[in-house]
Amino acid sequence: MTSFAATRAHDRADPHVDASGIDWGSGGIETQFGWSIQAVYQGFVRTAQTAVADVPGGPRGYQVLVAITTEEASSQLALAQRLGIDKTQMTYVIDALAAGGHVERQPHPRDRRIRQVVATDAGRALLATARVALGEVEDGLMRDLAPDERVALRRLLARVALSVGEPAGPAAEHADAERLEQPVAAPHRSRRPARRTPRDGEPS
């Protein structure tokens, strides 16, 4: 048996080594959560930029379109807090989307001082195209994972992301005193807008 084959045989017998050859008992860099998150993020950014190149505002513009088409209508400030985008930067993103005819600022039905950001038909069409392109990017990044593993990864990451903005333990005592340079997305679960039942005589 060659030394390489012997090494592979040893790896298969070691419960700490998985199918990809990572030795989880070594404490090596590839076993570190921070390194993995950074590597995946960098790989995603490199390829995702092209997928959303036609969306005004790039990745941020894409996130805005996703939020305003899948959740209740909200103001520009609420969107900035929801997505963890600086409110000044959010103004530029919304301006770019509006200039392209993809969103509109409309008065709130109960408080006309508030402007809600609403997607246009053109914005919805652009989002549909970008979703397909971004889905191909994500499939490429997760090409070594089985379909059920991809679903599991998405769900686990979403759960971690939702808890990021929720201080726990000793950190909670100092959360108000410390301020991050970049805003953190609000831990908030998406809810599809409730369908309103039309009254008698109203068009459905």
Domain boundaries, the chain: 25-163
Give start and end residues of each alpha helix (H) in the chain: 3-13, 33-51, 58-70, 76-83, 87-99, 121-141, 147-164, 170-173
CATH 1.10.10.10 applies to domain 25-163: yes
**pLDDT higher than 50, residue 182:** no
> What pLDDT sits at residue 181?
43
Token output for 170: 């000793």
Between 161 and 118, whose confidence is greater?
118
Say how many C-beta atoms besides its own lie within 10 A of residue 196's C-beta: 7
Give pLDDT tens digits for 1-60: 444 444 444 445 555 566 577 787 877 888 888 898 999 999 998 889 899 999 999 999
Between 64 and 4, whose confidence is greater?
64
> What pLDDT sits at residue 137?
93
> What pLDDT sits at residue 112?
74
Q: Classify residue 176 by its DSSP letter.
A: T
Spatial contact of 119 and 69, defined as CB atoms under 8 Å apart: yes
pTM greater than 0.85: no
